[in-house]
Structure 1
């Protein structure tokens, strides 16, 4: 990027409680021998941290609780280079994600929203040249309001999978999902621009249901897949909102996602965006 892209991320902030185990438990089963890791997470915070590390000028709109975890989450975002002046103090505890990761890096996640349910756009202004990225770990009413108020490029990561109102489908410049979410949201077949990730099979970009670009996955060592999709979303939004071609932006996003998979953290350390152009 020639200059840092101004990007606002509106979304969730969670403490990730991650149990690393040999395999994922089946329904009603207890799997022993796990190792517990406590770290910063939440799809919104993960995407904000990734975008800042990639070189965007990022501010985060979200909410944390009046607890020590809230102060910790703010400090983690500050350390990643995110502007946290827009973080709100909720009355509920800071959100928590309960995660189990197996030896192959696959995961199961249950989210307790906590303060994320109190995020508001009151007093928040959006500039015309500012890109906005949101996810669905916040209320759909808030996403609809965001679609009406965002003045620049708007990307929506439709995860967890939920039906999107027409107002969001019509307004979003980019919708990002994985293959499971794509199957669960039929309206995406005719949306203006949709990026779909396929894990080890890379990613594709569709416009009005027609494939316009594809990129292969970058081979890497899998440590943790929790933050990979969020890093992908951040990179793809930065690329497309900055004017990169569909093919280039998708290729860079796949390279960034691979770098995230190789990092055990939900908020992985990443190189600047341009470093992934040749990968």
Structure 2
């Protein structure tokens, strides 16, 4: 069984002719709880919230790009439970093409998200239907993947599904290995760009260059990634912005300062906006500047997908000082 979204969620006044994006990845429901601080091991704390919201890194990135006006399709899976409708609600509203979304017997993916008062979160992910996204299901969407200008993937589907992608992609492969898993190094070297935070970058480097002494600075991390054969990379630095490495060298992307409410999904908003910028023809540093602003906007609202901007929203400005 497949689901098809109506196109009415695409923001008015935007164009879908900027280049297509296919996101291959996870679809979850997020169970969101707020606490004053994160509990220590063995500790019970009172919290609030308990809302069920649409989530999953794949769905988040697809919604982020579509709300900004991108032409986006999602390759993924949901279960046969009632939570599937929650998981799909924002995708449908944003106008994401769900023709390649499968329904598989069992539960929809679940993420248990705890957000502290300072906006930092901790997340436990239960794969559910996302575990069905192996190589066969990815290859079934091969025509759509081959036709896309940008193909986006993350680490919340099985290894074999991710490893099937480079042979299908004819455009640009935006790879966000989060969470990081053991992958064929050729897949990591096909990532253009590879988008990682500092923790993920260290794990990826350990796979590509296991004998390398871990670099001490963000700049050195990026140089090590490109020296290891990654053609382009983006290192996200949270409130400090990001660093980009491409054929022209290193580029520092400033942050857009905001009062963070909830950082859940802000990194996915960054990646969705990065994909949109690349799909419409921006160079990587320019796309990362847009992504920095969109990610910051997302941190000012609660939850992941509900916090993402539309093309009409005013984005925070970058700190150019």
Which residue is 2:232 aligned to?
193
Which residue is 2:8 aligned to?
none
| Distance in 1 separating the partners of 2:138 and 2:285 | 34
Q: Once the two structures are superposed, what CA deviation does each residue of 1:113-149 show, in whole Å capped at 9, x if it has no partner?
A: 0000112124311334531101000011101101111
| Distance in 2 separating the partners of 1:17 and 1:149 | 34
Which residue is 1:227 aligned to?
265
- Provide the secondary structure at the position in 1 that maps to 2:290: helix
Unmatched runs of 5 consecutive residues or more in structure 1:
none
Q: Once the two structures are superposed, what CA deviation does each residue of 1:159-178 show, in whole Å capped at 9, x if it has no partner?
A: 01224322212322111111
Deviates more, 1:30-39 or 1:18-27: 30-39
The yes-or-no answer on 1:158 pairing with 2:177 is yes
| Distance in 2 separating the partners of 1:55 and 1:154 | 20
Distance 1:30 1:185, change over 3 A: same
Distance 1:75 1:200, change over 3 A: closer
Q: Which of 242, 250, 262 is the matching residue for 1:203?
A: 242
Which residue is 1:131 aligned to?
150
8 Å contact from structure 2 (residues 25, 57) kept in 1: yes
What is the TM-score normalised by the length of structure 2? 0.81
| Distance in 2 separating the partners of 1:145 and 1:211 | 30
Runs (4+) off by over 4 Å: 273-279
CA root-mean-square deviation: 2.2
Q: Which has the larger radius of gyration?
A: 2
Q: Once the two structures are superposed, what CA deviation does each residue of 1:216-240 show, in whole Å capped at 9, x if it has no partner?
A: 1111121111110001011112223
The yes-or-no answer on 1:148 pairing with 2:162 is no
Q: Once the two structures are superposed, what CA deviation does each residue of 1:244-276 show, in whole Å capped at 9, x if it has no partner?
A: 133321211100100110111210231329965
- Provide the secondary structure at the position in 1 that maps to 2:85: helix
What is the TM-score normalised by the length of structure 1? 0.92
Q: Which of 12, 16, 33 is the matching residue for 2:47?
A: 33
Aligned counterparts, 1:59-74, within 5 A: 59-74=73-88
Which residue is 2:28 aligned to?
14
8 Å contact from structure 2 (residues 297, 316) kept in 1: no
The yes-or-no answer on 1:265 pairing with 2:284 is no
Distance 1:122 1:75, change over 3 A: same
